[in-house]
Amino acid sequence: MAESYAELRPSSRLLLGPGPSPVDPRVLRAMSTPTLGHLDPEFLQIMNDTMELLRYVFQTDNQLTVPMPGTGSAGMETAMVNLVEPGDRAIICVNGLFGQRMVDVASRCGAEVIQVSAPWGQIIDPEDVKKALAQGGVKLVGIVHAETSTGVHQPLEEISRIVHDHGAWFAVDAVTSLGGIPVRVNEWGIDICYSGSQKCLSCPPGLAPVTLGPWAVEVLNKRKNKVQSWYLDLTMIQRYWTQERFYHHTAPVNMIYALREALRLIYEEGLEARFARHRLTSEALVAGLRAMGMEMAAQEGHRLVSLNAVRIPEGVDDLAVRKRLLQEFDIEIGGGLGDFKGKVWRIGLMGHGSRKKNVFAVLTALEVALAAQGHRFEHGAAVAAAEEVYQSISA
C-alpha cells in the first residue's frame, strides 16, 4: 500500500467516442448537491419529475417509465428478464455487436432464439422479420434502433407493424438514440424500450431508462415464474416508483438528480431543436471526413447522426491515430468492434457534445494525425467542408 494517495484529478477529455458523452456542467452540479433519503418527500417529487421528463423524451404516456440502476446493458437485461420466460420463442435482429448481446441475454433467460441477420453496416430487412414470424409461436421481437458498433440507424415503423400483425410484442434498444434522434414509443407501437444515461442524454453512466407499454405490463403481471433477477424485477420496482412507494432497494439518489437535470435541459431545448442540432453536426462532420478522402461505414440513407462510423483509410494505423488524438489533443474517439475491429473509427456527437466547436476540434486533430501517417489530402479541406455545411444552413 502507498503511504498516501493524491487527490483525484482526472484529465479533462473531449469525449467524442461511442460513450460516455460530454456532460453539461449543470448536470455535474446537480449530481453534487446534498443527498436525500430515498423515501424523503422531496426525493419522491424528484422521482415524479424524472418519470414525467422521461415520458417526454420517449414520446410516450406509459406509466411504467423509470430509470433502472445500471448502464444501458442493464436496460437490455431488464427488458429480457422481465418479459421472457423459459421456453418462450424470441426473434432477435442482429446486424452488429449489440444485437448479438441481445441474443445472449435472451438465451440466458431460457428463450428459444431465432436470429434475423444482416451484414454489419446494413439495416435489417423487414421482409426477413416477416419470414421468421411466419414460423409461429413468437412472443417477442427485439431490435437495436441505433447500432453503436456500426453507426446504423434502423427504421422501426414497418417492422413494428409486422410484429403486431403476428401477435408478438416489440422490444427496442434505444441506448444510442434516445435524446439524439426521434424515439416515438407510442406512435411506433414499441412495447418495451430501454436506453442509457451516458449517450445522447449526456448524463454520467449509471442509469438505464426503461418504458413499458400496457401490453408489456400485462405480460409482466401475468408471468408464470418469478423474474430471474431480483434486483431488476419490475413487478417489485414499479411499486417503489408509483404511489405505493414500497421499498425495494436504495435508489442511486444523486444519479437520479443528474438524470433529472439532463432531462430538464433537453426539455428546455425542445426535442425537435435537439434532433436538428444532432443532424447538423453530423452532416458537417461527415463533409469534413469525406474531404479527407474517408467514407462512412453505414448503409447510405441509414446513417446514425449521433454515432458516426467512418472507414479507416488504407495504410493508416488505427491505434496510433487514436493514441495521438488522446495524448496530444485530449480527444477520445472509438475504435471498431467485432467485424469492424481495426476497420472503422466511431465518432460520437451526442447530447452536450454535439457542437460545432467539437466538429472542428476533431477534424483539425484528425488532419494532423492522418498527415503524420502519410495519408494524402488537401490540408484545411476538412474544416472548410464542415464550415460550408454550417454556412448553407445559416444562408
Q: Is the pTM of this model over 0.85?
A: yes
Q: What is the pLDDT of residue 395?
A: 60
Stretch (H or E) spanning 334: strand 334-335
Considering only the C-alpha atoms of the chain, give the largest distance between any 2 of them, rounded to a whole number of Å.
67
Q: What is the mean pLDDT of the chain?
A: 96
Q: What is the pLDDT of residue 356?
A: 98
* CATH, domain 25-268, list 3.40.470.10, 3.40.50.300, 3.40.640.10, 3.40.50.150: 3.40.640.10
Rounded Cα distance, 192 and 262, in Å: 22
Contact 340, 298 (CB under 8 A): no
Cis peptide before 20, with omega less than 30 degrees from 0?
yes
Is the pLDDT score of 357 beyond 80? yes
Q: What is the pLDDT of residue 1?
A: 75
Contact 307, 348 (CB under 8 A): yes
CATH number assigned to the domain covering 271-394 = 3.90.1150.10
Give percent of the chain with pLDDT exceeding 70: 100
Is the pLDDT score of 119 beyond 80? yes
Is the pLDDT score of 393 beyond 90? no
Cβ neighbours, 10 Å, residue 77: 23
- Single-letter amino acid code for the residue at 131: K
Is the pLDDT score of 49 beyond 80? yes
Residue 393 vs residue 355, higher pLDDT: 355
Is the pLDDT score of 2 beyond 90? no
- What does the block give as the cell for 356? 460545432
pLDDT digits (tens, 9 = 90+) for 292-341: 999 999 999 999 999 999 999 999 999 999 999 999 999 999 999 999 99
Tell me where in the chain the CATH 3.90.1150.10 domain(s) lie: 271-394
Tell me where in the chain the CATH 3.40.640.10 domain(s) lie: 25-268
